[in-house]
Amino acid sequence: MKNLVNILIGLFLILSTTLTAQNLEFADLLQNINSRQNTSLNGKWDIIVDPLENGYYNHRLLPKDNGYFKNAKMTSPSDLIEYNFDTSFQLDVPGDWNTQMDKLYYYEGTVWYKKDFTYHANSDKLAFLYFEAVNYEAIVYLNGERIGSHVGGYTPFQFEVTNKLKEGDNFVVVKVDNKRKKENVPTVNQDWWNYGGITRSVHLITTPKSYIKDYSIQLPKGNTTTIDGWVQVENSKDGDLVTINIPELKKSVNSILKNGIAKFSVKAKPVLWSPYSPKLYEVIIKTPTDKLTDHIGFRTVATDGSKILLNNKPIFLKGISIHEEAPFKTGRVTSKEECKILLQWAKELGCNFIRLAHYPHSETMVREAEKMGFMIWSEIPVYWTVQFDNKDTYANAQNQLTEMISRDKNRAAILLWSMANETPEGEARLSFIADLAKQARKLDNTRLITAALDTQGKGNDGNLIEDPLGTIVDVIGINNYCGWYAGAPETCPDIKWASKYDKPMIMSEVGGGALYGLHGNKNERWTEEYQADVYKKNIEMMRNIKFLAGLSPWILMDFRSSRRPLRRIQDDFNRKGLISEQGMKKQAFYILKDYYNNENN
Ligand code: GCU
């Protein structure tokens, strides 16, 4: 008996140590910020445009420690200080600068942002500055002192600032630099506008000294009658109690903290989340000093040969790709209302699936999509020709992947983590993406790993999927533009598809462009009739792909790209949208809608 007890203790210790190690792999991020004591720092911020990095360090004009981040003020009439946030311009946060100020439309460089705020210290609280996204590189200063930096334009980051805040008046300065660089992720070439700025919300969050930092609560892979999870509590004592309560399931579980982690597993039979029934449960997590509420769905996802299974049943993903371009005002999406407009259009189209391209969208977009029952493909911007042989580039990509999974690991709607989009074949690229897939599976072994591959090379009489990336992913994304970039639309229906892999394929991009309101006959490029015919002919082709498990045609709405200058047709917009950026539906919208509503997949 004694041996058995020793074995069990040993097992527990290994498990809890492993778990602790595993949790250290997630990003240093507060989970579920909307459930916390939260002061918004959104609104007007003072800005200084600084193309020469003058405010960062210029030995001639500024002593090394007196950059713009000091927000220096004249103390005597003879002082020489050649900047002043108080008399400078202002920008809205959240928001990109390109669509807020005409002279910043094409600007790629540094803009300094500054915001004054008051804070009343409370010795029982910790304080965090939390940025939902800044594109592309941020250096953050609080009261003139550098507190940290972040690289990557589409994932959140935070700094604990408890001991750096003053009682009463404080100011935060952010140096935002959106210059494209070869070693960045994405690299210098992208087919979307390089919107710079503090593009998502900024929060001042306070927590109790001992606080719930992170948690994961979901069905284990392939199991629909157990809810598993762990809760990470900072500054906790071994033996402290954590309670996880799911009132609607009449489940309340206690777990003991050890090394800041409390694991749990409870038998339960939740109504499973699906597009037909996007059921979310209120989950309340309590510790002796903290309490959080989240709304979590429970479902399983897997593949079986070329099928994607949701809750053990095959499901066909009727999707659409979406960029984070705001309808009507254009520029970056900045509000829940704009997310809901895009999602409502996808609903009207008959979709049950959305591909959030080519980067993680806001947490708001993911949560709203989950509530509406959309299955989600979420992606990091390893796009085209990133530097696959650069270890710093890899570290950057892995960090963005880790931040994406850390933020959204409790979102049942996300079925697929996408590692990349249209990357050229090669050894360095293969190992780069294989390593990303390994990291993703280490963080989350329940979701499917995918990537969008470029159009496949010609097989003997059509397209043969043989990219070695097919060995690494669970689901193969294929971007194929028959009728637009290759071949005339009438050639599409006869293309035969084959695959070296017995895995599901998602046609992750297909389609063509049209200017809304431009009409002519169907062989005239840019007319709505041409785009509609591209959709018709590609739908005929896709009906014959036996291993097709879904599609996310390119794209829901026209979006801005500096690769699309064709005057009076593109005018800096990629026109492959089924809807114009002013919300006008093109003929092709109804072709795809008809396919989704009448296809008996
Ligand atoms: C590519 C790419 C998209 C791009 C699209 C296009 O496949 O993945 O980002 O916008 O094609 O050329 O319109």
- pLDDT, averaged per 10 consecutive residues of the chain (601 residues), comes to 55 44 76 96 98 78 72 90 95 98 98 98 96 98 96 98 98 98 98 98 98 97 94 97 98 97 97 98 98 98 98 98 98 98 98 98 98 98 98 98 98 98 97 98 96 77 89 97 95 95 98 98 98 98 97 98 98 98 98 91 60
Query: How far is the C-alpha of 534 from the C-alpha of 277, rounded, in Å?
Result: 33
C-alpha to C-alpha distance for 334 and 326, rounded to whole angstroms: 8
For ligand 1, which residues put their CB under 6 angstroms from it? Answer: 191, 358, 421-422, 479, 509, 554, 574, 576
CB-CB contact of 331 with 378 (8 Å): no
**Atom 10, ligand 1: residue with shortest CA distance:** 191
| Atom 3, ligand 1: residue with shortest CA distance | 191
Pocket test for ligand 1, best of 386, 454, 507, 574 (most atoms within 8 A of CB): 574
The answer to whether 230 touches 264, Cβ cutoff 8 Å, is: yes
Beta strand pairing status for 496-499 and 462-465? parallel
Kindly give the distance from the C-alpha atom of residue 334 to the centroid of ligand 1, in angstroms, as a whole number: 23
Instruction: Fill in the DSSP letter of residue 385.
Output: S
Provide the pLDDT for residue 19: 44
In 3D, which of 324, 585, 356 has the Cα closest to residue 450? 356
In sequence order, what are the beta bridge partners of 43? 93
Structure tokens at 342: 């895009």
Which pLDDT value is given to residue 14?
Answer: 44
For residue 58, give the 3-state DSSP assignment: coil
Task: State pLDDT tens for residues 382-417.
Answer: 999 999 999 999 999 999 999 999 999 999 999 999
Rounded to the nearest angstrom, the distance between the alpha carbon of 338 and the centre of ligand 1 is: 23
CA of 162 to the centre of ligand 1 (A): 44
401 CA to centre of ligand 1 in angstroms: 21
Contact assessment for residue 318 and residue 556, using Cβ atoms and an 8 Å cutoff:
no
Sign of the CA dihedral running 205, 208, 209, 213: negative
Distance, CA 68 to ligand 1 centroid (Å)?
39
Pocket test of ligand 1: the residue of 422, 478, 484, 578 to mutate, having most ligand atoms within 8 Å of its CB, is 422
* Burial group, residue 576, by CB count within 10 angstroms (0-12, 13-18, 19+): buried
**Do 529 and 523 touch, CB atoms closer than 8 A?**
no
- Distance from residue 562's CA to the centre of ligand 1 (Å): 13
- Cα of 190 vs centre of ligand 1, distance in Å, is 9
Those residues whose C-beta lies under 8 Å from the C-beta of residue 285, and which sit 6 or more positions away, are 212, 215, 231, 242, 243, 244, 245, 291, 292, 293, 294
Per-residue pLDDT at 18: 41
* Nearest by Cα to 268 from 257, 279, 259, 277: 279
**What integer pLDDT is reported at residue 455 of this predicted model?**
76
pLDDT tens across 48-104, in order? 999 999 998 665 555 555 699 999 998 899 988 899 999 999 999 999 999 999 999
Residue nearest to atom 7 of ligand 1 (CA): 479
